[in-house]
Each structure stands twice: as C-alpha cells, then as structure tokens.
Structure 1
Amino acid sequence: MKSFKAFLVEQDGAAVRGRFVELDETRLDAGDVLIRVTCSSVNYKDALAATGQGRIIKRFPCVGGIDLAGEVVSSAAPRFRPGDRVLATSYDLGVAHHGGYSEYALVPGGWVMPLPAGLSDFQSMALGTAGLTAAMAINRMEDNGLKPENGPVLVSGATGGVGSLAIDMLAGRGYEVVALTGKPEQSEWLCRLGASRVMLRSELPREIRPLDKGLWAGAIDNLGGEVLSWIISSSKPGGVIASIGLAGGTDLHTTVMPFVLRGVSLMGIDSGYAGFAVRERAWSRLAADLRPRCLDTIALEEPFENLPRIFDRLLAGQGHGRVVVRISH
C-alpha cells in the first residue's frame, strides 16, 4: 500500500493540534477490516478533539473522525468481503483508534456495518453518528408510548446535526415538531425541515418551576442544563424525553414531581457504544421510514483539505446541519 493522507491529532506538552500528514500501513491500528474511506463527517465532538478544546482524545497521536464510510479492501472478518460498501460510527473511532479522516482505516469487524440498501456513502455520512443518535432517540421514545396524536414534540439545539435531522424525521412520521434554538436567523430553514413553529431560547422562563404547565408529549434534548430542567417540568403526563447532549451544561436541577405526578420518563441515549442490534435497528429505519426528506438541504459536502476551517466555523457557532467530508472518490 502506498502512503496515504490523514488528519492526525497530536499533543505537544499541553498543546493539542491537528495537521495533515502522510501515513503508511505500519501506522494503521489493529483491526479486521481494511476500508478505503470515501466519506466522513464533522461532529461537534470531532471539532473539540481536533483543536484540544475538549478532553476527547484518549491517546495521542490519533487520526480524527468518529464516522466513516467506504469500500472494503480486505477483511479477516467473515461478514465482509472486498468490494463491500460499509460504514462505521463512534465506538473508539477518532478517540482511541484512528478514525475516518484518513484515506484508509483498519477497523475491528464488530464496529463495521453494511451500508444500508438505498443509501450512498454520502447519504450515510450525512446521517452518521448524528442520524444514528436521532434514530435511537425516536426508537426509545416510541417504545415508551410516543405517538403523533399525543401532542407536540420539542427538539432543542435544533440547528445542530442531531436536532435538524430529528426535526425532519419526526415531521416525516407525522409529529407536530417545535424547534428550540438560539439562532433566530435559522427559523425559516427549520420550518422548511418540518418544524411547525420555532421557539427561541430567549423565550424560556427565567425561573424554572418544579412543575410547570404541561406542553410536550416528547422531547429530544441536545443541551442539558437549565433547558433540560425546564423541559422536564413542562412535559405533559406520560411525556417521554430523550437526553442526548450536554452543550448547555452538565448540571440538572429538577424534582421528582414530574416523574411521580405526571409519569414523565427521562431516557439517556448513548450512540457511542450501543450494541450491534440497537445500531442495526436504527440504521434500517434510517434507510426506510426515518429517512430524512431534506437530507440534501441539511448536509453540505466539503473537500478533505477544508477540515480546519470547518472546525473553526463549528466551534464559533456558525454552522448548522451536517457537513460531509469527501475523503476520496
């Protein structure tokens, strides 16, 4: 194998930085499936890892990118053969195992999934970990009784990857979706994705009551902190909440009242280390009834060399939707 291009995150003392390098097969991590990577994506976690603004990387140096899609070159895993189209998301990719920002990746077979029928490499990465997380949240919520006739579903962090995909998926399933955002300039875009209305974070009450007026039959929360506290207090009887992020804070101040007086359910969603059966169910729906209708509007394709600029935009709060990185053709 010739040398290949990768984006490597390194540590020099206390400083963490990412840069493009040339690697060869001796630098690949242990694995069963060698993949020629065609596409990856940029998640907020990727930007934090590559810039050192979050303690994400567990070992240095490490090729970034928690998502990848491509073609199997060789495989010691019996499930895969050369030429198969595959994807891999999360686990330790881009954190403690070389990830998707590389023209080639060697990955444990248990992390690899066949590309769902009907999805291209680009579409699978337009979904990526964000789409997987949104689908897992919807599965859990519907398993716990959520139906369109129950009432509106709130999606916080609405302009982000998970939020925008969740709005599209839920609206496609017939739910009334309310988008909660701090970016009023994106209101029209959110409505095009399927939000029935947009609520600004500035409209939230300054004081969160232990039990507020019941508004939400369900919610997908990307923020945590005070926003999640308010969602819990303002959920309808039998409301179901999927907690999937902590961009707004890690503390949670609430009481037992919504849980024992209204039967509210709060469910944590971990797409990082979810088992194969959970992932397979989510991906099968992502290629079918949960397939976003506006995926081409949500996702933007960027060339590999633009990665550093993409990270800067994302961390500056200037991005919305999803970015797919074209690694190779």
Structure 2
Amino acid sequence: MSEFRAIRIDKSERGHHADYVVMCERDLMEGDVDMDVAFSAINYKDGLAITGKGPVVRRFPMIPGVDLVGRVTHSAHPDFAPGDIVIATACGLGEAHYGGFAQKARLSGDWLVKLPPSLTPARAMAVGTAGLTAMFCILALERHGARPDDGLAAVTGATGGVGSFAVALLAKAGWRVAAVTGRGGEADYLKRLGASEIIGREEFAVPGRPLQQQRFAVGVDTVGGVTLVNLLAQTQFDGAVAACGNVGGMELQANLAPFILRGVALLGVESVRPRIALRRAAWARIAQDLDPAAIDAMSEIIPFDAALDRARSIVTGKIRGRVVIDMGLNLPPGAAD
C-alpha cells in the first residue's frame, strides 16, 4: 500500500496538535476518485484549523487544506478517468473530509471540476476557494443586474485572498474599483491589480449613521461586522453588496434604512456546497477573465515542508494574497507550469 506525507491535525488529552505524518492509502476516507495531489493552497480557514483558533474541524484526525488540484489515478465516477487534472475546493475539505495538505486524496467525483485548459495547476490553486468565492460574488452582482456604468465598486479586505481577486475580476469586467484596506503600504499592489483608488480601513471601522454619503454602486465585502454595516450605508440607490466573509465578526448590527429607503440589496455568497454547474461556469469565467500575470502578482509558491508554519501565520494577518503549496508531484507535459 503506497505511503504519502500529510499534515494531520489530532486532538487528545494533550490538546490540539498539527504535524507532518506518513500515512497509507488505506487511511484515506471514502470517495470514488483517487488522485495524486499536485498543489494545494493556504486559506484563512486552514490556519484556524491548524492552530485550533476556530471551530473549523468537525472530526479528528483531520487533514486540512480547503483546496487541491491533482491527477486522477483511479476513478469509479463517469465524468473522470485516470490522467485527468481536476480541481476540488471547499465541499467540507479540511473540515469533515481529508483535504489538500497531503500528497494523495480520495474524494467524491461530485465535488470535482476539470482544470480549464488555459489554467496551469499552480495558477488554479493560486485562484482556489478565494478566487472562486470572488467570482461567485461578481456573478451574484451581475444576476442582480449591476453593471460597470452604475458607478464605483468597493472591495473590503482588499489585500486578502478573496479581496485581491475581487479587485482584479471587477476591474477586468470594466468596473472602477475602490480597494478598502488597512495596509496603506500595499497601495501599489492593489493598483497593479486594477484598483482605481485606495480607501483606508479606518473609514469603515467605527459605527456610523444608518444612511451615509452615497459612494458606491456595488460592493464585495470580505470582512463583515461594522465594516459591512458602513458599506451598506454608503451604497447608492438600488445598489447591491455581495457579502462572503466574517473576519470582522458574524453579528450584523445594521439598520433597515439602506434596504427600505435606498433599495440596497444584501447578497449572501457561500462557497462550500458543490453546485457543480455554477462551479464550472465560475471556473470557465476565471480562466477567461484573469490575466496570468495578475494571478502571479497576488501569489507565491512554497514547498510542502514550509506549509505548516505559513498556515499558522495566516491567522496573524501576515499573508498577502495567496500562498500555493507545491506537493512535489511531477505532472505530465502540458499540465504543469
């Protein structure tokens, strides 16, 4: 039985502990598609799982890693065959099912999407759940009827993974983008992604009036809490905000005024459920809209041996953009960078 390396989270009398281990294929969980994992990526949720600072893991032991891309080695699913390069994001990975911080995975084929031809595996992981969530937000705004000529688009938490992709994707779609960030030193980075102006996070950090100056036609909020409340209060008539994050808190101490006096819409966006048709559409749009140079500008690639320490650092806000983990798999020509 083939052995492989993984980062495994265990919980015992000694408490919560994550470390590198050697496992066997028989240790993998149920699924109808086996694969060799080529790349994964570090998400905020992975950092919470590894450090135990958030109630992410729903069973122990657990292999973290919300995202992975790999080469199919065995399949009992009709949509996939050995040799296919496939992407998996969310769907309970790293929470209830072993995730991407391992050199092998066994997953349900219903969670998988084939890698678009124009994306390399590493760039797909640079996109990962963060970029997919950003695209879900933009698709939600478009379904609402929002268009670039409506006005300015705001993105909160703009230097984070979701925020960075939201800036780039909105700019690509023709929007003027205001990037809201607490990192003034990252202005050049955000402007390279397509932001037309930078707004300090402090303008959104304290409670304001229920209705404020109308500044934005739409927003993508990755923060939640008081930041979202202020963004709603500054959204113009018939505007919309797509909300997908909660690093600023789960509670929403909001007033009805933006909704019933300005007709502002709050669009909730989640990225966990499979919804494969939507995922395929989102990945196709990402492959079409995202410039490879933009993906590279907001990401870095690290070896698997460095993944554990970097995952711990994400919860302290020390990671900008996306960190991709190279699992050391040599993919066939045309499938790898």
Is the CA contact (8 Å cut-off) linking 2:110 and 2:274 kept in structure 1?
A: no
TM-superposed CA distance for 1:205, in Å, is 7.1
* CA distance in 2: counterparts of 1:206 and 1:136, whole angstroms: 28
Taking the TM superposition and a 5 Å limit, the aligned residue runs for 1:141-152 are: 141-152=141-152
**Other-structure match for 2:158:** 158
Residue aligning to 1:319: 319
Please, what is the CA RMSD of the aligned residues?
1.3
Contact 1:64 1:101 in 2 (8 A): yes
3-state secondary structure, aligned to 1:288: helix
- Residue-by-residue CA offset, 1:54-73 (whole Å, 9 max, x unaligned): 11000000111011101000
Question: 1:220 and 1:242 mapped to 2: Cα distance?
Answer: 5
Q: Deviations over 1:107-144 (max 9, x none)?
A: 01111111112111101100000011000000010111
TM-score (normalizing by structure 2): 0.95
Partner SS state of residue 198, structure 1:
strand
Q: Name the residue aligned to 2:30.
A: 30
Alignment partner, residue 218 of structure 1:
218
Unaligned runs of 5+ residues in structure 2 are 330-337
Partner of 1:56: 56
Correspondence 1:203 to 2:203: yes
Distance 1:96 1:205, change over 3 A: closer
State the shift of 1:15 in Å. Answer: 2.0
133-142 vs 312-321, which moves further? 312-321
Distance 2:132 2:23 in 1: 30
Q: CA deviation at 1:13?
A: 3.1
Tell whether the 8 Å contact from 1:172 to 1:292 is kept in structure 2 after alignment: no
Matched, 1:283 2:283: yes
Q: Deviations over 1:261-303 (max 9, x none)?
A: 2111101111011411111111110111355651111010000
Alignment of 1:89-108 (within 5 A): 89-108=89-108
Tell me the residue number matched to 2:334.
none
What displacement does 1:14 show? Answer: 6.9
Aligned to 1:125: 125
Which residue in the other structure is 2:88 paired with? 88
Gaps in structure 1 of 5+ consecutive residues: none
CA pair 218-254 structure 1, distance change in 2 beyond 3 A: same
Q: How far apart, CA to CA, are the structure 1 residues paired with 2:205 and 2:182?
A: 14
> 2:332 aligns to what?
none
Partner of 1:260: 260
**Compared CA separation, residues 45 and 206, structure 1 to 2 (3 A):** closer
| d(CA) in 2 for partners of 1:113, 1:205 | 38
Equivalenced residue count is 329
Q: Deviations over 1:116-174 (max 9, x none)?
A: 12111101100000011000000010111111110111000111000001101111111
Q: Does the CA-based 8 Å contact 1:15-1:52 persist in structure 2?
A: no
Partner of 1:79: 79
Sequence identity (%): 39
Q: Distance in 2 between matches of 1:102 and 1:312?
A: 17
Residue 207 of structure 1, CA deviation: 4.0
Deviations 1:287-320 (A, max 9, x none): 1135565111101000001012212321221110
Which residue type is aligned with residue 129 of structure 1? T
Q: Alpha carbons of 1:112 and 1:205: their partners in 2 closer, same or farther (altered >3 Å)?
A: closer
Deviations 1:167-218 (A, max 9, x none): 0111111110001111111112111111111111123374411111111111
Structure 1 residues 315 and 149: CA distance shift in structure 2, 3 A: same
Work out the CA distance in 2 between the residues paired with 1:249 and 1:85.
37
